[in-house]
Amino acid sequence: MTPIICVQNMYNLANRQDDALVDRLAQQQIAYVPFFPLGGFSPLQSTRLSEVATSLNATPMQVALAWLLRRSPNILLILGPSSPEHLQENLASARLTLTDEIMAKLNGI
């Protein structure tokens, strides 16, 4: 009925039901905005995520966001932090580089 330019749905490191959709939208150059990118009301918690974060001198939330940015080029993050500290922390995640090895580790969560 109308051109679609962006899809928003729940998606994060631990909720990946939209994996195939994210890839299909990327092929069609359609943006994907994950809601609850940090888990929403139940922020993400994982031993593996914490281990990776420690190894990168980052926080688990930063790694979860960096994972989303690295996951697919059509992913657009619109976050909802309620403090300037969280905002700064979240912005810094864009500078984190996740290697293929780290991505593989995180994909196992």
Ligand X SMILES: NC(=O)c1ccc[n+]([C@@H]2O[C@H](COP(=O)([O-])OP(=O)(O)OC[C@H]3O[C@@H](n4cnc5c(N)ncnc54)[C@H](OP(=O)(O)O)[C@@H]3O)[C@@H](O)[C@H]2O)c1
The contact set with ligand X (CB under 6 A) reads 8, 35-40, 43, 61, 78-83, 86, 89-90
Two structure tokens written together for 108? 């196992």
Task: Report the residue number, 81 or 109, with the smaller CB distance to ligand X.
Answer: 81
- Closest distance of CB 38 from ligand X, Å: 3
Task: Report the residue number, 20 or 78, with the smaller CB distance to ligand X.
Answer: 78
Q: Please, which residues have CB within 8 angstroms of residue 4's CB and are 6 or more apart in sequence?
A: 30
* Residue facing ligand X at closest CB distance: 80
Pairing state of beta strands 6-10 and 31-35?
parallel
CA distance 93 to 67: 9
- Closest distance of CB 3 from ligand X, Å: 19
